Amino acid sequence: MSASEIKLPYGVISKKKLIMSFSAFDIDLPVIAAGIRERMDVLRELEVAFAGFGTDIPQEMTEQTPAQVKAFFEYMGKESNSSVVLKRVYHLIWDGMIQEFPDLDEWAAAKADLSSLTIAQADVVRARRGD
């Protein structure tokens, strides 16, 4: 980490860019997307562009090293102290994620549905391979 980087609990600010990182074991991509969408109007006002998100799969994934979901933001404004704006964005995104997080009953049902889908997909793959 260089002197121009600012380390946050779940992200880093470097120059005019913010990269937020989440454990795929803890936070689902739809929850992250909902939190970002919830705050898009504020991001535009702050002259910050959402630059995308994706999953960073480690070379050797184990139970102790989950995939990382990363969200990327870039400050597009002219202000020289972009880190202040990007720190605010960091907190706004977390707030948006909390605001959009489903109720526990809805979340549990969605997790169960996803689990059933994953099992069904695994069954199809095994059937195709003849296992």
Q: For residue range 14-26, what is the model confidence (pLDDT) as tens digits?
A: 999 999 999 877 7
pTM across the whole model: 0.75
Residue at token pair 């997909």: 121
- Give the Cα-Cα-Cα angle 123, 126, 128 (nearest 5 degrees): 110
Residues 110-122, buried b or exposed e (16+ Cβ, 10 A)? eeeeeeeeeeeee
Task: Identify the residue with better confidence: 78 or 27.
Answer: 78
Count the neighbouring beta carbons within 10 Å of the beta carbon of residue 4. 9
Going through 1-131 in order, the beta strands assigned E by DSSP cover 5-8, 11-14, 17-23, 48-56, 68-75
**Annotation: CATH topology of 5-100:** GMP Synthetase; Chain A, domain 3 (3.30.300)
Closest CA to 66 of 30, 25, 26: 25
pLDDT at 129: 84
How big is the chain by its Cα radius of gyration, in Å? 18
Task: Identify the residue with better confidence: 9 or 107.
Answer: 9
Residue 71 pLDDT exceeds 90: yes
Q: Per-residue pLDDT tens for 18-61?
A: 999 998 777 878 888 999 999 999 999 999 999 999 887 777 76
